[in-house]
Structure 1
Amino acid sequence: MPLIVISGFPSSGKTKRTLEIKKFLEKEKCKTVSVVSENDLLSKEKNAIFSDSRWEKDIRGALKADVLRLLNKDDVVILDASNYIKGYRYELYCASKQNKTTQCLVHCLVPIEQAWTWNQTRLEMEQYTREVFDGLVMRYETPNSSNRWDSPMFSVLPEDVPPFESLYDALYLCKPPPPNQSTQTQPLSSTNFLFELDRTTQDVTNCIISAQKTVVTGDKIRVPGVDELLSLGRKVTLAELTRARRQFISYTKMHPVEDSMKLRSLFVQYVNTTLG
């Protein structure tokens, strides 16, 4: 199924836009549409979940698993969630490439205080607390149409009608991005693959941290054994690299590569994409 990723601040009208798009595709284009909704998993515990990084990570994992289960080339999957992490949106993009299907992003572009006002109009049990709301806004990594995983992107203001025909064209009249090595599922031929994955990504991380101590900020970094240079443009922290490493390991466990020697190059490419 072609994938529509909805993204926006909490209480920015994401579910409303999801239902509008679903209605159009079903009634006007006779398509089958499946919605994977964050709200179905959050229930009444949203403030507790978004206050605990482990629970929040579990929710993201469950949403992605549902999307992966439904993806194919014919019908449509809409992921109705904040999708505020750039690396997470990249993982969804890779999943679309692997399934050789198209994807687009709908950005619900709402001013922060307007979203907060809409939040206060909800039933009390469905509202975000101010602390949780502000935390989600602060962590929100705004989509950028120049990033291939956020493109094509359709920004929808509160007063706008979603560009239904353009959405349909992006899903059904455009070719899906061609798969590459990083998005191809390969057989796990080595029993020590996980060991190699952990060791290789740790070696690259250590190399980057060490190189940043001597190079001028903005200079490119060469990782031994990798042709592609790291072009980060800034000094990245160990915490950022560790987070990227965890995300890469999590994805690669599900999509192992046959040649473990390529792991180093793939991780460098991933760091360039998510942190560059």
Structure 2
Amino acid sequence: MPLVIMCGYPSSGKSDRTVQLESFFQSSTDKKCLVIGESSAGIDKNDVYADSKKEKEARGKLKSAAQRLLSKDDVIILDSLNYIKGFRYELYCAVKSSQTPHCVIFCDTPVNLAETWNSGREEHDRYTKEIFDGLVMRFEAPISKNRWDSPLFSVGPDDDLPCQEIYDALFLRKAPPPNLSTVSQPLSATNFLYELDKRTQEAVTTLINAQKTSIPGDDISIPGAKDKVHLARSINNAELQRIRRQFITYTKLHPIEDISMLANMFVQYINNSIK
């Protein structure tokens, strides 16, 4: 589900905007909308925000709850302060990994107005003065030039929520490309991993044995490879195994159809690594 990250000072109107957006999706689109917030996660805000360890655990709960629901359909709204840019970056990485879009809605309410709204709440739902001031002091406002805060919708207290624009940002925009290291690439053949492991180990064994009778400058033939390893210097087993692990990691992310090329590719990789 695409992720909407609410952001703002305490009592800045985030939950009201969440209700507005949820109502729009339910009445004007065919998308489902799920809201994850502090109350649904069983978080007592005055207790949590008074203790850094509890606050970190609470953020972990919210993040985990959102991650479990991330997909390419429907909408998740994370209704919380989300006031730390590092946490918003973690959420951005999560949506990248899930290959689903996101956006940030910043309730840009002046501090004095947010404080007035907070004072008007029921006592059980009100931030204490100490907690309110501390959160305002630590607040890190979203910036549109940061990729994890973009697209960013800043909404003042008298502004209409741009629901259609938010919908377009979530469903008519491409998701951020995932980091290559987080993508599970399909293997090109059922025995690909077996052959990758077998042929690279065979090459390492051949090189270790060949060095017993060769000298630096010799070219070593490797079974299954057209190219030869140019032994510019001696290579011990530990270094060869390290090069082998690097090659295996890279090749898993870039599988090939013709596994007969693996040995030659590994030879080329070794030559480049020991230059």
Please give the range of the TM-score, normalised by the shorter of the 2 chains.
Answer: 0.5 to 0.7
C-alpha separation in 1, matches of 2:19 and 2:155: 14
Structure 2 partner of 1:59 = 58
C-alpha separation in 1, matches of 2:12 and 2:183: 35
Secondary structure of the residue aligned to 1:40 is coil
Residue 27 (str. 1) matches residue 27 (str. 2): yes
Deviation at 1:41, TM superposition (A): 3.2
C-alpha separation in 2, matches of 1:115 and 1:183: 40
Structure 1 partner of 2:98 = 99
State the TM-score, normalizing by the size of structure 1.
0.65
C-alpha separation in 2, matches of 1:129 and 1:183: 42
Secondary structure of the residue aligned to 2:140 is coil
1:1-16 superposed matches below 5 A: 1-16=1-16
C-alpha separation in 2, matches of 1:28 and 1:49: 36
For 1:81, the aligned partner's letter is S
For 1:16, the aligned partner's letter is D
- Contact 2:103/2:151 (8 A) holds in 1: yes
Structure 2 partner of 1:179 = 178
- Contact 1:85/1:140 (8 A) holds in 2: yes
1:248-267 superposed matches below 5 A: none
C-alpha separation in 1, matches of 2:149 and 2:54: 25
Structure 2 partner of 1:48 = 47
What root-mean-square deviation, in Å, do the aligned CA atoms of Structure 1 and Structure 2 show? 1.7
Q: Give the gaps of 5 or more residues in structure 1.
A: 187-257, 261-276
Secondary structure of the residue aligned to 2:40 is helix
- How many positions carry a matched residue from both structures? 188
- Contact 2:36/2:66 (8 A) holds in 1: yes
Q: Give the gaps of 5 or more residues in structure 2.
A: 186-247, 251-275
Identity over aligned pairs, percent: 51
Structure 2 partner of 1:196 = none
For 2:61, the aligned partner's letter is A
C-alpha separation in 2, matches of 1:156 and 1:42: 27
Secondary structure of the residue aligned to 1:35 is strand
Computing the radius of gyration from Cα coordinates, the structure with the larger value is 2
1:172-211 superposed matches below 5 A: 172-181=171-180, 183-184=182-183
Deviation at 1:183, TM superposition (A): 4.3
Distance 1:87-1:182 versus aligned 2 partners, 3 A rule? farther
Deviation at 1:184, TM superposition (A): 3.8
For 2:145, the aligned partner's letter is S
Deviation at 1:36, TM superposition (A): 0.6
C-alpha separation in 1, matches of 2:24 and 2:122: 28
State the TM-score, normalizing by the size of structure 2.
0.66
C-alpha distance after superposition, 1:116-165 (max 9, x if no partner): 10001110121111110010011111000000000000001001111011
1:92-131 superposed matches below 5 A: 92-131=91-130
C-alpha separation in 2, matches of 1:184 and 1:88: 22
Secondary structure of the residue aligned to 2:39 is helix
Secondary structure of the residue aligned to 1:41 is coil
Structure 2 partner of 1:218 = none
Deviation at 1:4, TM superposition (A): 0.4
Deviation at 1:182, TM superposition (A): 5.3
User: Would you identify which runs of 4 or more consecutive aligned residues in structure 1 move more than 6 Å?
Assistant: none
- Contact 2:38/2:45 (8 A) holds in 1: no
Distance 1:63-1:185 versus aligned 2 partners, 3 A rule? farther
